[in-house]
């Protein structure tokens, strides 16, 4: 029996949650070149606009993908028809939105004429709304639609991805920043580029690329959000300005993270493989992990009394700053 996915205890309460998601190509074969990576990036942005979730960081490699996803709650009062149609258009195009708009209008007219019910209107809207602001639905839509495109292109059938995607709960602030940097450093670890900004199909490469402002804005907004998580900012917003850009680059290239006394050691951590980031169940402060532990008690043995476990091995420079729900070697 497949093990139940780790989900934050406050899921559905109106509070956002962050997950590090990883999916690998079947047989881990190197199937993605520049065209495939670019299509993944474009499709990811379309699903992002449709779902209402926020991509904080990502990287598309030749045989796997990473997405640091913030699952945001729907706005208070819900999604009105105008916003819903805009979201549908982002994923299905103008034609798809027009068809859905006609269906929605027909349902509303039926209510006015007495031949339909309000429930039918809500059921029509729910076909899309139930797929929004949800971790599994975001990844399902993204991976399935990319598979459909890839299979048509390659004249193949069947699964493209290994099993289900993996996910780890990530607390905001330090943990989110470290994981974002870990994701953006994938092509550096693989020896593809010496500088993460030179890799086009990643959040940092996109944010610092030569495309127009409109094209790079989603990547910049995601990384700015990462750098502002857990901190008091004016209006609750962190902009991608020179200060934010410099701070994130220092984290990428020098391992400089506020509150960590040995940035050089963290630099080595981020440039190696860290199992906690992809299989730790949940990572964050000690208090955060204990909260997740208490809400997910059935996942652990009866003798375990605490949830937080110190990072070990390659991840040991993070000990006492970022903790894990699973005891892994690093």
Q: Chain-centre distance of CA 167, in angstroms?
A: 9
| Region of poorest pLDDT, from 31-35, 81-85, 236-240, 314-318 | 236-240
Q: Do 252 and 185 meet the contact criterion of CB atoms below 8 Å apart?
A: yes
Q: In the prediction, which pLDDT does 20 show?
A: 98
Structure tokens at 20: 């590090």
What single-letter DSSP state applies at residue 17?
E
Average pLDDT of 18-24?
A: 97
Q: pTM for the full model?
A: 0.92
17-74+157-324 is a CATH 3.40.50.720 domain: no
The residues pairing with 121 across neighbouring beta strands, listed in sequence order, are none
- Location of each CATH 3.30.70.1290 domain in the chain: 17-74+157-324
Query: What angle, 0 to 180 degrees and rounded to 10, lies between the N-to-C axes of helices 118-129 and 81-113?
Result: 160
Burial of residue 156 (CB within 10 Å: 0-12, 13-18, 19+) is exposed
* Nearby residues of 318 by Cβ (< 8 Å), 6 or more positions away: 178, 260, 266, 269, 311
* Element spanning 287, H or E: helix 286-295
Nearest to 280 by CA among 263, 299, 267, 298: 299
pLDDT digits over 33-65, tens only?
A: 999 999 999 999 999 999 999 999 999 999 999
**What mean pLDDT is predicted for residues 81-90?**
97
What's the whole-number mean pLDDT along residues 160-176?
Answer: 93
Burial of 31 (0-12, 13-18, 19+ CB in 10 A): middle
* C-beta separation of 223 from 180 below 8 A: yes
**Residue 121: partners with Cβ closer than 8 Å, 6 or more residues away:** 104, 107, 108, 111
Among candidate residues 53, 23, 68, 22, the one with its CA nearest the CA of residue 178: 68
């Amino acid at each position: 029996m497949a093990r139940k996915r780790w989900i934050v205890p406050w899921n559905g309460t109106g509070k956002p949650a962050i997950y590090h998601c990883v999916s690998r190509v079947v047989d881990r074969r190197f199937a993605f070149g520049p065209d495939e990576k670019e299509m993944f990036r474009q499709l990811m942005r379309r699903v992002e606009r449709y779902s209402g979730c926020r991509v904080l960081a990502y990287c598309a490699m030749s045989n796997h993908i990473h997405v640091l996803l913030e699952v945001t709650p729907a706005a208070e009062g819900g999604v009105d028809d105008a916003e819903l149609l805009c979201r549908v258009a982002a994923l299905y195009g103008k034609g798809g939105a027009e068809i859905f708009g006609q269906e929605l209008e027909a349902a509303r007219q039926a209510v006015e004429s007495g031949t339909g019910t309000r429930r039918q209107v809500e059921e029509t809207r729910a076909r899309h709304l139930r797929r929004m602001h949800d971790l599994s639905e975001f990844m399902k839509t993204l991976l399935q639609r990319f598979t459909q495109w890839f299979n048509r292109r390659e004249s193949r059938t069947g699964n493209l991805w290994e099993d289900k995607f993996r996910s780890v709960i990530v607390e905001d602030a330090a943990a989110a920043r470290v994981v974002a940097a870990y994701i953006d450093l994938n092509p550096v670890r693989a020896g593809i580029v010496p500088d993460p900004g030179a890799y086009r199909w990643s959040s940092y490469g996109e944010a610092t690329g030569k495309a127009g402002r409109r094209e790079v804005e989603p990547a910049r907004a995601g990384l700015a959000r990462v750098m502002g998580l857990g901190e008091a900012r004016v209006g609750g917003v962190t902009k991608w300005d020179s200060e934010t850009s410099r701070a994130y680059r220092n984290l990428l290239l020098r391992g400089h993270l506020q509150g960590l006394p040995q940035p050089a050691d963290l630099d080595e951590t981020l440039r190696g493989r860290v199992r906690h980031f992809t299989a730790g169940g949940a990572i964050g402060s000690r208090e955060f992990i204990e909260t997740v532990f208490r809400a997910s008690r059935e996942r652990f043995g009866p003798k375990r009394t605490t949830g937080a476990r110190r990072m070990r091995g390659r991840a040991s420079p993070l000990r006492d700053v970022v903790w894990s729900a699973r005891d892994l070697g690093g």
